[in-house]
DNA sequence: GATAAAGCCTGTAGTTAATACAGGCTCAAG
DNA sequence: CTTGAGCCTGTATTAACTACAGGCTTTATC
């Protein structure tokens, strides 16, 4: 067990969660993070539960969920959720990612192919330009 | 040789190039497409050279170039260009795409792994949620 | 010829997911 | 007491479009 700080300012929460300072305010605006309690001076104060939530959001983003999807996941977390629904969302996401990978792979092989045809000198003939201008 | 229409309205140019109607006006605003000649009624009129340019842009986008990069390519097309410069840009792009593919592949395998652990029933235990909430 | 629908014109706002900045307040250190 | 860090707010910017409002013009149909 490591000791856990219970209170965070906006800056320290951002650092602890590994997100940008302003991102927290942005998540607050779009409803992913709650309006936190304020210190007498108006400063936001956060606790460990906020850190968990923010790390959840960050990890979700890293897994390719959109903010809207993370909103859905958080609703499930906040309420009762069926594992089923979560799994469906995750698999749908994996499918979308697979498609993106395929598209990118096509893009890359097209690029590699035309770059390979390109002599690369100082000449004004270029296979890449030609290819893009093709009728 | 197919016969070629020499004149296009904005809408027909968009259709011919396979882009959205409004995209043309957007490209005009950011300087990728020129301010076209206008008919007496104020309507934009385009010729075959505009179609070529717009298709060039669309293909560049499909290959993952940003609009700024396409702007560079078009400057080269418009002026004199060294094949070298074009090739460098293309290969840099292929590298970026390769990185994106790697990132997505990692995302996908992480997602697949946690989804596989997920029982998927009506139970309120869910490996995906657990994983995202992990300390 | 009348009228309606389609297509064009303009400027502006909305989208996603943040990031950055200006102008001002507060707090801790030296 | 002053200086700097950190926080506050609201607004603007990014990329790459897309969509809409309000108003012409042109084309098609009756």
My answer on whether B51 and B89 are in the same domain is: no
Q: Which domain range does residue A14 map to?
A: 1-81
Average pLDDT over every residue of B2-10: 71
Tens-place pLDDT, residues B90-132 = 888 888 888 878 877 887 887 788 788 777 666 656 777 777 7
Average pLDDT over every residue of A49-78: 87
Question: Which burial class, exposed, middle or buried, applies to B53 when counting CB atoms under 10 A from its CB (0-12, 13-18, 19+)?
Answer: buried
Contacting residues of A for B125, CB less than 8 Å apart: 83
CB contact under 8 A, A129 and B77: yes
My answer on whether B59 and B86 are in the same domain is: no
Q: Annotate chain B with DSSP letters as a single string.
A: -------B-HHHHHHHHT--HHHHHHHHHHTSS----B-TTS-B-B-HHHHHHHHHHHHHHHTT--HHHHHHHHHHHHS---HHHHHHHHHHHHHHHHHHHHHHHHHHHHHHHHHHT---SSSS--HHHHHHH--
A70: β partners = none
pLDDT at A29: 93
Question: Would you say residue A119 lies in a domain?
Answer: no
Question: Would you say residue B73 lies in a domain?
Answer: no
Contacting residues of A for B2, CB less than 8 Å apart: none
Rounded CA-CA distance A38/A42 in Å is: 5
Q: Is the CB of A72 under 7 A from strand D?
A: no
The domain spanning residue B14 has which CATH number? Answer: 1.10.1660.10
Residue in B86, B104, B118 nearest the CB of A83: B118
For strand C, which residues in window 73-132 of chain A come within 7 Å by CB?
A: none
Q: Which residue has the higher pLDDT, B125 or B42?
A: B42
Average pLDDT over every residue of A102-129: 75
Whether the per-residue pLDDT at B57 is higher than 80: the answer is yes
Whether the per-residue pLDDT at A63 is higher than 50: the answer is yes
Q: Is the CB of A68 under 7 A from strand C?
A: yes
Q: Which two tokens stand for residue A36?
A: 């936190």
Scanning every strand, the nucleotide with its C1' closest to B64's CA turns out to be D16
Q: Is the CB of B45 under 7 A from strand D?
A: no
Q: Which residue has the higher pLDDT, A55 or A117?
A: A55
Question: Would you say residue A72 lies in a domain?
Answer: yes
pLDDT at B2: 47
Tens-place pLDDT, residues A121-132 = 665 567 777 777
Question: Would you say residue B75 lies in a domain?
Answer: no
Least confident of A71-85, A113-127, B16-30, B48-62: A113-127
Question: Would you say residue B71 lies in a domain?
Answer: no
Locus of tokens 């709650």: A34
Output the CA–CA distances (angstroms, integers) from residue A56 to A17, B63, B126, in the order listed.
9, 33, 14
Contacting residues of B for A97, CB less than 8 Å apart: 104, 107-108, 111
What total of structural domains would you count in chain A?
1
My answer on whether B20 and B58 are in the same domain is: yes
Question: Would you say residue A36 lies in a domain?
Answer: yes
Question: Would you say residue A26 lies in a domain?
Answer: yes
Q: Which nucleotides in chain D have some atom under 7 angstroms from a protein Cβ?
A: 6-10, 15-20, 25-26
Average pLDDT over every residue of A110-124: 73
Whether the per-residue pLDDT at B5 is higher than 60: the answer is no
Q: Which residue is nearest to nucleotide D16 (CA to C1')?
A: B67
- Global pTM reads 0.77
Average pLDDT over every residue of A62-90: 81
Least confident of A60-69, B76-85, B109-118: B76-85
| ipTM for the predicted complex | 0.72
Scanning every strand, the nucleotide with its C1' closest to B24's CA turns out to be D17
Contacting residues of A for B112, CB less than 8 Å apart: 94
Tens-place pLDDT, residues A27-59 = 999 999 999 999 999 999 999 999 999 999 998
Whether the per-residue pLDDT at A4 is higher than 60: the answer is no
């Amino acid at each position: 067990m490591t000791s856990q700080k219970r209170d965070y300012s906006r800056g320290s929460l951002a650092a602890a969660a590994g997100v940008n300072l302003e991102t927290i305010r942005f998540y607050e605006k779009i409803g992913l993070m709650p309006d936190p309690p304020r210190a007498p001076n108006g400063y936001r104060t956060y606790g460990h539960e906020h850190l968990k939530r923010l790390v959840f959001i960050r990890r979700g983003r890293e897994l390719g969920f959109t903010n809207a999807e993370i909103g859905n996941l958080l609703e499930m977390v906040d309420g009762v959720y069926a594992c089923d629904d979560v799994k469906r969302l995750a698999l749908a996401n994996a499918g979308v990612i697979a498609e993106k990978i395929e598209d990118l792979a096509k893009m890359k092989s097209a690029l590699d192919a035309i770059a390979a045809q390109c002599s690369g000198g100082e000449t004004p003939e270029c296979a890449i330009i030609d290819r893009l201008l093709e009728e």
